[in-house]
Amino acid sequence: MEQNQKNTIEIGFTINGEERVIRTKPGKKLLDLIREDLGLTGTKYSCGEGICGTCTVLMDGRPVKSCQLDASIVENKEILTIEGLSGDGDEELHPIQKAFIEAGAVQCGYCTPAMILRTKWFLEKNPDPSREEARKAISPILCRCTGYKKIIDAIMLASEKMRRE
Ligand code: FES
Ligand code: FES
């Protein structure tokens, strides 16, 4: 990370598989870097206080609440947002995305990008979970619509799909 006389900083990192160097204002939150500087609006702002989890992205494969982090933390790291989930140039949805649609786990959709990214992290370390394990795994993310049953259904369906692939 470099700072120059115009009081901006340069941050080098990888986002959705692409290496980028972004010049931005010091003190910017990671969520704002993603939404404003990169235009990736799939990552959502809600509480801004680290409570709801809708701003979740994966940093080096682990879920983080991007509204709580200074953007400079991503220097030399890999970030995955919902836009990068299907892979470079791949129009096919990821099995987790398909499972959320098939299980009816998307209502307003506001929490869905965070739920899907957290599910990806979870299923990579636990490919054949119980419903209770799935429920605990997504508990840091609040959904105001579904009552969670369909989201757990979607995680179980995604785990089946991914084990078959
Ligand atoms: S917007 Fe980040 S935790 Fe709620
Ligand atoms: S689907 Fe609406 S907040 Fe979760």
For the entire predicted model, the pTM comes to 0.94
Q: To test ligand 2's pocket by mutation, which of 46, 56, 82, 144 has the most ligand atoms within 8 angstroms of CB?
A: 144
Phi-psi region of 145 (alpha: psi -120 to 50; beta: other; left: phi over 0): alpha
pLDDT tens, position by position, 18-64: 999 999 999 999 999 999 999 999 999 999 999 999 999 999 999 99
| Mean pLDDT of the chain, nearest integer | 94
Q: Which domains does the chain have, with CATH numbers?
A: 2-84 (3.10.20.30), 95-164 (1.10.150.120)
What is the Å distance from ligand 2's center to 7 Cα?
39
Ligand nearest to the CA of 31: 1
Structure tokens at 69: 């982090």
Give the pLDDT band (50/70/90) at residue 99.
Answer: very high
Q: Is the beta carbon of 144 within 6 A of some atom in ligand 1?
A: no
